[in-house]
Chains A and B, each alone.
Chain A
């Protein structure tokens, strides 16, 4: 029984880690630019496919480093080419644009790499489990959680200690004032979008090794990421982090006792939070917008 619980909690933490990476990227973009990136799951898939293409040439470690950067560059270009023209318009347009982009990217991935699942190779040493009893905890999974923790710490450090990060946080609170102080807000939004894409790309590389690749691999992660943001409280990155972990672990624990309800529990959590505490767990008072 203990093993079963451990097994599911491990799975929950892994899935929760993906939710967190996805949701943090979405949340970054949402907070500063007021855009919901419906294509975020496809950015993740793109990161994964790039790792698949690059691994034979530069190895797993090289791909782990390069693919997220390429995804970030892709995000940078998309923001510059399309999304930035929509900030002044009704928000419905940016949502529709990313929605269409999601369709395009998904079909493009299907066209290029085929509709069937692919898998990337991870180093043999990492595919091995810790021990026979804990067969479900491979080194790769531990490594993955470590990377996610490092990425989260890195993101919060970036926002706290770097000039761009501080400006992003300031812009989230009051973009007009930041612009009036002479900051190039357009470039700030672009960099912020690229940072969100970087996280999606990183999640994609990790997911490629763990869950395998298919053109709509991001779709299953997108909705839980939305819910993580809603549960955690819109406007709060810490909230998003807590929300992602909460629904990941809750879904995993439910799997132990009532497997059929493991997905439903995510929605139940969201409904309960919206009824009891509409601004979300860590959303600030007054940001009920």
Chain B
């Protein structure tokens, strides 16, 4: 880890952190109001939330543990298939579907995690890519269960039954958006608590100086394994929400190109900032949506975003903001 990257690792002072959180939540809570005024649609905001959650979950590993996975789409996709399969074959219950997705992706991550905790740097990335392609391959070839190339169709999210009342997230876009936001809020809140806990601080110590952490008696492998598993489970949660959002799960949701997009969201927003990946996801989703509406060669421009961010904005949006006002 070079000196330049550790310099931004100092957390923002508490006042600024609260300010960022308040701005983010104010924007998210009022989305149905201002987005409809700007002529947008709520599905776009839903996608930002879901992919933002995926990128933030991924960033637990990249930004706060210092390990780079290029296969996180696998757990996202497994979450989507878990939720879709439950809705299609087991029961029309949204909470059960989400639980199934989280379990499927989380367990897969926990198992794969056992095999990779001793790898570092680009080799960690390489093995995670290969593992991701195993999941892609299974979803792609297991035609009878997953629908293969065409994806899993024929399920839809069920209204939320709270006992005393039923929330119709199946038909009301606004209700569904706030449902997504509630789940997002719980997940992100848990992530915040996790990072503030002694466990989270230990992860930061591993990121900053693994050797020193090891000398202090920290069981590195166990922490990396836990961090990877937790990150995968949260990513799977995002995937399950994605299946609910689209009423559809497809193998491209597990493909490594999505893994790369999750990484660029985290980096573009600022991987050392808690909210960075969400900002990155918002920018990426909106730009991608805009580009693909006017050219079929959108991949070219998405690739260009990767290159430009890497060469000219490596700290990401929030990283640059923090730095310019922090000095």
Contacts and interface: CB of A to CB of B under 8 A. Distances in A.
A166 interface: no
Contact of A36 (B119, B122, B137, B304): B122
A270 B130 contact: yes
B134 to A, nearest CB: 5
Contacts of A82: 307, 311
Nearest to B263: A96
B5 A90 contact: yes
Instruction: Decide if the interface of chain B is mainly helix, strand, loop or mixed.
Output: helix
Contacts of A38: 260
A34 B304 CA distance: 22
Contact of B300 (A34, A97, A107, A278): A107
B94 to A, nearest CB: 33
Contacts of A263: 137, 141
A260 interface: yes
A135 interface: no
A123 to B, nearest CB: 35
A289 B137 contact: no
Interface stretch (A3-11, A137-145, A206-214, A221-229): A221-229
A122 interface: no
B1 A102 contact: no
A1 interface: no
B77 to A, nearest CB: 16
B300 A103 contact: yes
Contacts of A106: 299
Contacts of A91: 68, 121-122, 125
Contacts of B62: 92
Contacts of A92: 62, 68, 125, 263, 267, 271
Contact of A107 (B68, B119, B122, B297): B297
B259 to A, nearest CB: 9
A96 B121 contact: no
A82 B310 CA distance: 9
Interface of A: 30, 34-36, 38, 82, 85-86, 88-97, 99-108, 110-111, 223, 226-227, 229-230, 234, 260, 263-264, 267, 270-271, 274-275, 278, 288-289
